[in-house]
Structure 1
Amino acid sequence: MRDLTEAVQLNDPLDALEPIPFFSCDVCASLGRQREEARKKGDMTVVSDCNVEIRRHPHGRRRSS
């Protein structure tokens, strides 16, 4: 039986698949470059923030008013 006092490691399913920026979009291209620079520096908070922004960027989708 497992010791219930051990820490459990959970994986975030979104970590496995990073969004691919649309490099024809200036906003996405900038976020993609910013994400890679942050990754080189080991700043995973900025990497995560960029991933969220890339996922949320509309790419021509119409927003509901």
Structure 2
Amino acid sequence: MSNARTTMTPPVYVSLPLAPPKPTEDCGVCMALAKQRAEAETKGDFSRVADCNIELRNHSHLRATDRKSV
């Protein structure tokens, strides 16, 4: 005898993505990452965009309020 399901599995709920982090304007590292992120986005390299966002979020001087999602 088989254990076939006769009902659908429940839907998968995925949260909204985080808002892109804002670079600090007087930080050279932040501005370089923001430039790299913009170039990657123009080229359609969204993996690199995500990498830049992670680096910006993990950059030590950002305030906790900059890390919140929308």
With normalisation by structure 2, the TM-score equals: 0.66
Per-residue CA distance 1:5-56 (angstroms, 9 max, x = gap): 7x85734431xx1100112100000000000000000000000000000000
Aligned-residue identity in percent: 46
> How many positions carry a matched residue from both structures?
57
Question: RCO greater where, 1 or 2, for CA within 8 Å and sep 6 or more?
Answer: 2
Out of 13, 17, 21, the position equivalent to 1:13 is 17
Q: In 1, distance between residues paired with 2:62 and 2:53?
A: 18
Gaps of 5+ in 1: none
Q: 1:60 to 1:22 in 2, by over 3 A?
A: closer
Residue 47 of structure 1: which of 46, 49, 54 is its match?
Answer: 49
Larger gyration radius, structure 1 or structure 2: 2
Letter in 1 for 2:33: L
